[in-house]
């Protein structure tokens, strides 16, 4: 298979299928999450090598708290281990790590580790890794609306100043760009409350592959499919393909 040529600047991934992958192998669901972390490590490394500037992954949704207590506790343990082991390597490779979501729900020790990871890598510029933890797209929009309302109530902005750009700056990904390519693994064809505001014009790609089996080669397939898309952003195809003044 040929390598993709047009690399999306920002890729977002719903890493679905860890539990089902483990169940197919008659292993605990938590084993799938552990293997899924290894898959994520490979994808982060590969994205950095091909020029993806921003990667956003759905690690733990606000709805995931409803899962069995044992599974949630294991996920929290994996988060803690990843913060201890992975951040050092990410920092050495120039990756900036950001966590988005309602982090107040996590234990103080984890909040402290998250804060240290973000401050330690803040100056890195090779790539940004956004980890969505206790995140929900509706929460994100509601939170942005609250901040906007507070700013208006305090006289900091006028109604005329509230436009899409201002509102975007109040969301969790305010420091980044909207995703170019949105990938969901595991065979489900829905976005599951992930980046609802930011994905308005993202190209969606659904893969049957369960997340632990997702590889750089699979990512290449997604990017090649992305390369075949015509991104019009509300324009007509003719407008998008209009020749430039130089005739190219």
Provide the annotated active-site residues: 16, 64
Residues β-bridged to residue 1: none
70 CB-near residues (< 8 Å, 6+ apart)? 30
How far from 125 is each of 99, 128, 187, CA to CA, in Å?
A: 16, 7, 33
Judge whether 187 and 206 are in contact, CB under 8 Å.
Answer: yes
- Let me know the angle formed at the C-alpha of 51 by 45 and 54, rounded to the nearest 5 degrees: 75
Residues β-bridged to residue 56: 12, 130
Residues 240, 246, 247, 248: is their CA dihedral positive or negative? negative
């Amino acid at each position: 298979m040929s390598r993709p040529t047009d690399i999306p600047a920002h890729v977002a991934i719903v890493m679905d299928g860890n539990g089902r992958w483990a169940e197919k192998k008659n292993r605990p669901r938590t084993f799938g999450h552990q293997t899924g972390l290894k898959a994520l490590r490979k994808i982060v490394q590969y994205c950095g090598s091909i020029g993806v500037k921003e990667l956003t992954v759905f690690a733990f949704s606000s709805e995931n708290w409803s899962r069995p207590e044992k599974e949630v506790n294991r996920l929290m343990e994996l988060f803690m281990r990843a913060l201890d082991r992975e951040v050092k390597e990410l920092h050495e490779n120039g990756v900036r790590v950001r966590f988005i979501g309602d982090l107040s729900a996590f234990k103080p020790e984890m909040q402290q580790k998250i804060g240290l990871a973000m401050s330690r890598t803040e100056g890195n510029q090779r790539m940004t890794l956004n980890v969505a933890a206790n995140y929900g797209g509706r929460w994100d929009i509601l939170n942005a609306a609250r901040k906007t309302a507070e700013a208006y109530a305090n006289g900091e902005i006028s109604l005329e100043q509230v436009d899409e750009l201002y509102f975007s700056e109040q969301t969790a990904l305010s420091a980044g760009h909207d995703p170019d390519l949105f990938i969901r693994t595991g065979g489900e064809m829905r976005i599951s409350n992930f980046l609802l505001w930011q994905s308005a014009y993202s190209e969606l790609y659904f893969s049957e592959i369960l997340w632990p089996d997702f590889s750089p080669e699979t990512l290449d397939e997604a990017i090649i499919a992305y390369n075949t898309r015509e991104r019009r952003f509300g324009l007509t195809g003719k407008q998008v393909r209009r020749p430039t003044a130089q005739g190219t």
